Amino acid sequence: MSFLILVRHGQSTWNLEKRFTGWVDVDLTDTGKSEAKKAGFLIKEKNIKIHFYYSSLQLRANNTLKIIQNVLNDEKKFTRAWQLNERHYGSLTGLNKMEMSKKIGEDKVYEFRRSWDIKPEALDKKSPYHPQNIKTYDSIPRKILPDTESLKDTYERVTKYFGEEIKKKLENNNVLISAHGNSIRALCKNLFVLDNNQISNLEIPTGNPLTIELNKNLKIIQCEYLDKERAKNLLVF
């Protein structure tokens, strides 16, 4: 038996401002830091020893994980992987979701946010929000930096990395992943075998640990959000 814990980062500054964030590297708000701290205490109460930690390359996910580890008094190094990054929102990056809803309609914004395979227009490479202009991504070959992504694109890179690098660790160990709304939705689609309509309706709350118990064959026994008051419907459990 092992545990996989998925934690979406705590509230970020651009979450608060309702802006499309994607690969832009913004930090946590005070509320986000409190959410991360509470996540740590909830995991501590479950008395689950974490053997391996993973995060995206992004500051908000990294700092969420550091706060959790601090609560757990765990100084293990964690693995950072760009493959666990948030979905890239292309030309929508930095724009306010409410303003865009007024400009192009709520249905269109929802389509961009939640559809399976529709991508926003590509982000101009000259934009300061383009990954090639953000220092965080200097180590990644430019040819693989995205200009835009659909949820399908995000799913493919996240699940490939999970299958190649993380899944084998779960055979005898507990793993915690600190990531993002869409990268965690991608993992949930894979783990819970959700169809494309279900994944469109799946909400991932910030800073609320989703604890998944697995048997020796890595089949799900049960799962739960640890913060019951902020839990979302998992659709299948």
pTM for the whole structure: 0.95
**pLDDT tens for each residue of 8-17:** 999 999 999 9
Q: Does residue 86 lie within any of the structural domains? A: yes
**pLDDT tens for each residue of 142-194:** 999 999 999 999 999 999 999 999 999 999 999 999 999 999 999 999 999 99
Distance of alpha carbon 218 from alpha carbon 1, whole angstroms: 8
Q: Does residue 211 lie within any of the structural domains? A: yes
**Domain around 216:** 2-230
Q: Does residue 100 lie within any of the structural domains? A: yes
- Overall domain count for the chain: 1
Indicate which residues carry an active-site annotation. Answer: 9, 86
At CA 195, angle to CA 193 and CA 197, rounded to 5? 145
For residue 138, what is the DSSP state? T
Q: Does residue 74 lie within any of the structural domains? A: yes
Rounded to the nearest integer, the mean pLDDT of the chain is 94
Q: Does residue 236 lie within any of the structural domains? A: no
Instruction: Sheet with 210-214: list strands edge to edge.
Output: 79-80, 52-55, 175-179, 2-8, 210-214, 220-225
Question: What CATH number does the domain containing 149 carry?
Answer: 3.40.50.1240
Query: Closest by alpha carbon to 219, among 177, 170, 182?
Result: 170
